[in-house]
Amino acid sequence: MDIGVAIGDVRGPASLTDLLDQARQAHDAGIGTVWAAQAMGWDALVALTAVGARVPGPRLGTSVVPVPQRHPLVLASQALSVQAATGNRLTLGIGAGISTFTRQLFGLTFDRPARRLREYLDVLNALLRGESVDHRGETLTAAGTVGVPDAEPPDVLLAALGPAMLKVAGELTSGTITWMTGARTLAEHIVPTITGVNQKARVVAGLLTCVTDDETAVRQRISEQFAIAGQVPEYRAMLDREGVAAPGDVVVAGDEAEVVKQLDRLRDAGVTDFLAVPYGSPAEQVRTLTVLAG
């Protein structure tokens, strides 16, 4: 199981200096991949370009870029630009976006997300390979090509939780990225569903992670701070599958031995890549990086 670390907004407001420091700390600890989320702060692809230009070595990943706001011609150009600027180190994680946010913040339609992503990926994959597209489909129109010298097509992953989206991920991408999804749900639902379509599928599991002497308090704080994740239908469904009440119940937390045990459980569930989001005090985050690197 490859272990990577999130940098940037998902860990709190971050300056460019913060991004670079977090990436360097992870790389110096021996962690091979840094991931950036897309929220309402840093653009994930810009953040990774800035980091990749100044921190040689680590692989780079988006986790994830919502695509309703980005036409595939735009996203293909952005992704290939990152590849050219960073020496082809990008894994492009994309997703349909959170339904509530997509409707309320952007006023965009969110019906038939699996159907939309299937069509989107047909176009995006062709563009990333340098092919010309002339697509006039049910949910998308795209005509043109994208060319960036020295850029290779990045590995593409699709955020997927439900069976229909996991099928799309298995058929049209290299795998999936999950968030706030526990080990039992990964083992019994996510992994068997996607590997039933693609036996070689990557399963990237993203979870808040904290090595701490007060596990109970950390889980309580996370449940309060990330309470909205327990209300969003997509994540609520995964928490219900897991049989837990709140986001704090699925995070990786505890002392060194307990965190290693929880990481082993994720590996045994079939997770190929663990995306850790270090949480807690500066001292707890240093302890967390040490365990993750080990």
CATH of the domain at 267: 3.20.20.30
Q: Which of 223, 220, 189, 216 is nearest to 205 (CA)?
A: 189
Q: CA separation (Å) from 102 to 95, 105, 137?
A: 11, 6, 21
Helix (H, G, I), strand (E, B) or coil at 165: helix
**Domain count within the chain:** 1
pLDDT (0 to 100) of residue 237: 92
Neighbour tally for 44: CB within 10 Å? 27
**pLDDT in the model for residue 39:** 83
Length of the chain as a residue count: 294
pLDDT at position 228, please? 84
Per the CB < 8 A criterion, the answer to whether 191 and 203 are in contact is yes
**227: containing domain:** 2-293
Q: Looking at residue 95, what is its pLDDT?
A: 95
117, 98, 201, 52: CA torsion to nearest 10: 100
Q: What is the pLDDT along the chain (294 residues), one digit of tens a residue?
A: 999 999 999 998 999 999 999 999 999 999 999 999 998 789 999 999 999 999 999 999 999 999 988 999 999 999 999 999 999 999 999 999 665 555 555 565 666 789 999 999 999 999 999 999 999 999 999 999 999 999 999 999 999 999 999 999 999 999 999 999 999 999 999 999 999 999 999 999 999 999 999 999 999 999 999 998 888 888 899 999 999 999 999 999 999 999 999 999 999 999 999 999 999 999 999 999 999 998
Spatial separation of the C-alpha atoms in residues 16 and 77, rounded to whole Å: 23
Two tokens at 294? 């080990």
Among positive and negative, which fits the CA dihedral 272, 188, 64, 139?
positive
pTM score of the predicted model: 0.94
Identify the pLDDT of residue 107. Answer: 62
CA atoms within a 13 Å half-sphere pointing along the CA-CB vector of 4: 25
Determine the pLDDT at residue 8: 94
pLDDT of residue 232: 83
